[in-house]
Amino acid sequence: MTPPLIDPFARAIRYLRVSVTDRCDFRCVYCMAENMTFLPKADLLTLEELDRMCSSFVGLGVEKLRITGGEPLVRKGIMTFFRAMSRHLESGALKELTLTTNGSQLGRFAAELADCGVRRVNVSLDTLDPQKFADITRWGRLPQVLDGIRAAQEAGLRVKINAVALKGFNEEEQFSLTDWCAREGHDLTWIEVMPMGDLGNEDRLDQYWSLKDLRSRYAERYTLTDLAERTGGPARYVRLEETGQKIGFITPLTHNFCESCNRVRLTCTGELYMCLGQEDMADLRAPLRASPDNTLLERAIRAAIARKPKGHDFDYSRQGVAGQMTRHMSHTGG
């Protein structure tokens, strides 16, 4: 038996988030700059290298793979990678293969994703107002995303909507977005905006809307029941008893969820971030390319997990931001 990946705080690492590209067909204001300089394609792991990397993690006990970006579905040939990963689902080594997407390409790929064993997808959608959607994504078109969501449903995929809570932007849509998700059969998770990227361009302090406030608004209208359910990620869930909906809250700022963290993040260049809110990372591309044998790679993975910190330092105060990360969210993977 291969020893599992256990970090210094006795947390078993079962969940790997993998960014397959830093590119995206949107420019969401909280994720990347409008005029991004993207990585040279030669710096990215090839699809074959991504297969080998992820397969090594699966061999070390990772049971859930979430594919992210940028926008993962704009990576040329990406379905080759999904088809390769499906073999781990068939063997039983991998319990879930899923992705986070902006939904723009789901119309093209939803059926094939389902054929590869994907059963649910997270779609980032912060507003149902076409003009506000164009404003927040800069380049996005809401009808294309809604068509993609419908294609996912028709393919049998379960859709969860991820909405970033943004003060002064989608506060008034809390209940209209909730009602739409109820009608369409989607779960909904709200996410606090995180201090990542160039704050000189996008001031996260002005955008920050505490989910404590958002939850209290729900409590004024609905009966909330806390759920013990965990999906392997950081969300905490409640059920709205009047509708039966499940609402999630990802609160890196108002509630530090690090004590149960079982995940690490791999960038498209082979950097492993043991914590989203820390700068420490391990270069896995070098050992991957140093030898066709996986011994060096697996040794590097274990050494990285041995450095996984207890938690992040994200925090907002009235005066400023603590724990700010200089890299854009698109670099690490959404």
Could you list the residues known to form a binding site, using ranges.
Answer: 17, 24, 28, 30-31, 66, 70, 100, 124, 160, 194, 258, 261, 263-265, 275
Distance CA 161, CA 128 (A): 12
Residues annotated in a binding site for S-adenosyl-L-methionine: 30, 70, 124, 194
Residues of the binding site for [4Fe-4S] cluster: 24, 28, 31, 258, 261, 275
Binding site members for GTP: 17, 66, 100, 160, 263-265
Residue among 267, 249, 266 nearest 257 (CA): 249
Q: Give me the phi and psi of 219, to 5 degrees please.
A: -65, -25
201 three-state secondary structure: coil
Q: What's the token pair of residue 227?
A: 């759920």
Residue 43: what residue type?
D
Q: Measure the CA–CA gap between 143 and 120, rounded to whole angstroms.
A: 21
**How long a stretch of residues is the chain?**
334
Among left, alpha and beta (phi > 0; psi -120 to 50; other), residue 291 is beta
Q: What is the DSSP string of 300-319?
A: HHHHHHTT--S----EE-SS
Burial 63-89 (b: 16+ CB within 10 A, else e): bbbbbbbbbbbbbeebbebbebbbebb
Q: Identify whether the C-beta of residue 140 lies closer than 8 Å to the C-beta of residue 180.
A: no
Q: Distance between CA atoms of 56 and 58, rounded to whole angstroms?
A: 5
DSSP helix/strand/coil, 131 = helix
